[in-house]
Amino acid sequence: MGSAALCQLACRGLRSTGIEQFEIGHDRGSSHGATRMIRLAHFERPSYVPLMRRSYALWHELEDIVHQRLLHITGIAEIGPPTGDVILGTRAGANADLPSEVLDAQALMRRYPAFKIPHSFVAIFQPDGGFIEASKALAANIAVAKERGAAVRTGEKVIAVEPAGSGVRVVTDRGAITADFAIVAAGPWLCSLFPELRLPLTVTRQVIGWFEPQQPEQFAASRLPAFMFESEYGHHYGFPAYADKGIKFAKHHHLGEAVHADSYERTVSAQDETAIRAPLARYLPAANGPMRTTETCLYTMTPDNTFIIDRVPGFPQIVVASPCCGHGFKFAPVVGEILADLVTQGTTAHDIAPFRLARFS
């Protein structure tokens, strides 16, 4: 989100600086790795649709600027019991004049033989879904920002963000910077920067696995959509085989373990693998081969499972953003636009009422 905001500010001609405590593309937060899912309708919140329409447009604009493909439209199949959260929530979002198709279990398995699901399950297929190349997208935002004049400082940890008259003072482990405004998109470190806000954020550890498919021809991006499952195992999601890494598959919210961003377990255990592999073996058995590689990342969760995007009360020159909760990456361009709007115009045309801090009062 920070890189998208920096890109937006630079493209508007503002002198701006981005500060990152690690290196660009580091694996300690929520933005690294090969792929992230993208879709228009979300079971989590049907009202996301207008933001996602704009986000798609901005992703394509970024592709045009950098002359790279970042989005891969494979379609997405969201699968589960007809009265489950995934199906009911996605159906509510798709009712907002979106292209979608409801498939019973037999129809889904005829179209995509890799799936082996109970006859009682249904699927909602969104043809506009797919995945974003995450690391390439992050690098593209940074490249455009720097090309348009932004500065990027890495390996520099922000200690505090303080009001300084009508502006701000950003204190780092290298010194201090003064500016007119600050946008703070610090993910799992947001609470430590603003303890006085008492933000109700919980950081949780996630594990992702890549599996060797036993029938690779069924799992190419041309033959299989991105997908989500709701089942007795919880909520799981996956991607077709991409970049010779196998099938990416993970449990949404994984084991639900709360951690600290600076000291969490990054080694993947047998318990972690079991939480991922059990539904893979049952519902995509041909993908249930050896686990090639694993990765950990972090979710930063709010109690209502949606974003924080707002100005700090009493200090409109400081904007905080935590658009995470495990489904935020796809929103990066539109969130960057909103954040740039807030510091240049004081408001935004996008509806961010659900993301305001006041809801936690």
As a three-state string, the secondary structure of 323-356 is: CCCCCCHHHHHHHHHHHHHHHHCCCCCCCCHHHC
Q: Retrieve residue 200's tokens.
A: 């109700």
The 3-state DSSP class for residue 111 equals helix
Would you say 279 and 235 are in contact if contact means Cβ atoms under 8 Å apart?
Answer: no
Helix (H, G, I), strand (E, B) or coil at 63: helix
Rounded to whole angstroms, the Cα distance separating 16 from 292 reads 41
Triad 113, 119, 125: Cα angle to 5°? 60
Residue of 163, 160, 184, 181 whose CA lies nearest to 172: 160
User: Using CA atoms, how far apart are residues 128 and 122, in angstroms rounded to an integer?
Assistant: 19
Query: What residue type is 210 in one-letter code?
Result: W
Q: How far apart are the first and last CA of the chain?
A: 25
| Among the listed residues 358, 359, 355, the one whose alpha carbon sits nearest the alpha carbon of residue 48 | 355
Measured distance CA(135)–CA(141) in Å, rounded? 10
> Residue type for 21, please?
Q
**212 neighbors 191 (Cβ within 8 angstroms):** no
Q: Distance between CA atoms of 297 and 266, rounded to whole angstroms?
A: 8
Residue type, 217: E
| CA 38 to mean position of chain CA atoms | 9
In this structure, which amino acid lies at residue 168? V
Catalytic positions are: 32, 35-36, 248, 253, 297, 330
d(CA 90, CA 44): 8
Residue 101's region, left for phi above 0, alpha for psi from -120 to 50, else beta, is beta
